Amino acid sequence: MSKKTPLFKWHAGHGGNIVSFGDYQMPLWYEAGVKKEHLSAITSAGLFDTSHMAAVIVKGTGSFELLQRCFTRDLNACIGKEKSPIVSGRCVYGAFLNENGGVIDDAIIYQITPDEYIAVVNAGMGNVVAGHLDAHKEDASITITDLTDKLGKIDIQGPMSPKILSKILNNPETVFDNIAYFSFKGHFDSTSLQSQQVKLLDGTPVLLSRSGYTGEIGFEIFVLPESTLKVWEMLMDAGEAFGITPCGLASRDSLRSGAVLPLSHQDIGEWPYLNHPWEFALPQRDQENSFSKNFLGMDALLKIESPVFTLPFVGNDPRKVSTEHAVVMDDKGNKIGTILTCTTDMAIGKHNGRIYSIASPDKPEGFTPRGLSCGFLKTTIALNSGQSVVLKEGKRTIPVTIVSDIRPDRTARKKLNDFI
């Protein structure tokens, strides 16, 4: 089975190197090449077709309780430093776990109203997550709707994205007013009350979310399939003067790795969802044996006997290993783990032991990075930031360092006003 997004013809007609990804025919990169695409999302703007992703609507009284029970994030304590409850117009990242504490899929949950939510999940996971929620609902009046292939999605990411987007919005000032990181406005469904909040110049309603998968400032735009190509072309036209670049899956992968964001079913998966860089997606752990809420999979997380650790790493140069064949070795040559993700962030380099990005305001003069390999390791022993390990694949041995962060000076969380 091979599915196509509403933008497939555009990709194929614009030099997209098409590959199968999950069930979908997707561009891996375009004629510009991965490096330029990667850099564009850091220096100008990158445009990504993410229509292969799925969304599930959860609606009705009891929806909050269902999600609070099935989702790792504590929806009563997830917004801002003060950990306030989710409110309409905010979205949060977390995961759905099975009873063993393993990941079914990760998701961003959007609160449309206190009784209506959209869970945005990965390609091919719409029916899985919908089925999972349906099996765990206690209130028969809750409706769960899988929107797989019924929704288009375009991500615009990079420092120029607010300016580009403002060119196609009907009311950019109101839309950009008070739109914090991980908040959203509007709705793709014109029958929804919220659809009045965000309209494009031609009247197309969109759900506009200030989020993304690159670590850079930008938006995820949800739109009906029949309008997706039109919106993509509007953005390409409006973005031409700002250097917008269509980006494929390869640069999406290298950008998210450098931003320390996990790929579901690769960096998080069947194993217990604990001891990883994304523990903010779990409820607060007050004591060793309790979380601030009960949730599916919690009991298993509290009873782990042999823990595994997921750790970000960065190399000294762009050299990579394959995730299938390489192993992680300690300095004594003992195998201590495997590699989950290994890619090259082409925008970074090391200088006097410190990582700089092409976007770093204090980068050394004449800084032209060759890129650094980076990604995630899964080890059987805990390692601290700064510790060195070796990735070994056949004859190749690549020294890397455990880190807490990879690409510096990312823009995702910066003030939107500085980019308008």
Distance CA 335, CA 345 (A): 26
Nearest to 343 by CA among 380, 315, 306: 315
Distance CA 137, CA 63 (A): 8
| For another protein, the closer CB: 38 or 210 | 38
Output the smallest distance, CB 315 to another protein, in A.
10
| For another protein, the closer CB: 141 or 322 | 322
Output the smallest distance, CB 185 to another protein, in A.
35
Nearest to 150 by CA among 203, 194, 188: 188
Distance CA 98, CA 296 (A): 7
Output the smallest distance, CB 196 to another protein, in A.
43
Output the smallest distance, CB 39 to another protein, in A.
11
| For another protein, the closer CB: 335 or 370 | 370
Output the smallest distance, CB 81 to another protein, in A.
37
| For another protein, the closer CB: 34 or 165 | 34
Cβ atoms of 67 and 91 closer than 8 Å: no
The binding site for another protein (CB under 8 A) comprises 17, 28-29, 33-36, 38, 250, 254, 317-322, 343-344, 346, 370-371, 396
| For another protein, the closer CB: 122 or 257 | 257
| For another protein, the closer CB: 33 or 269 | 33
| For another protein, the closer CB: 19 or 308 | 19
Nearest to 321 by CA among 370, 261, 377, 270: 377
Distance CA 353, CA 276 (A): 25
Cβ atoms of 144 and 228 closer than 8 Å: no
- Which structure tokens are listed for 13? 């007609």
Output the smallest distance, CB 103 to another protein, in A.
26
| For another protein, the closer CB: 57 or 342 | 342
Nearest to 372 by CA among 396, 335, 401: 401
Distances (CA, A) of 397 to 78, 258, 280, 330: 42, 21, 33, 12
Output the smallest distance, CB 369 to another protein, in A.
10
Output the smallest distance, CB 239 to another protein, in A.
22
Distances (CA, A) of 319 to 93, 353, 398: 31, 17, 7
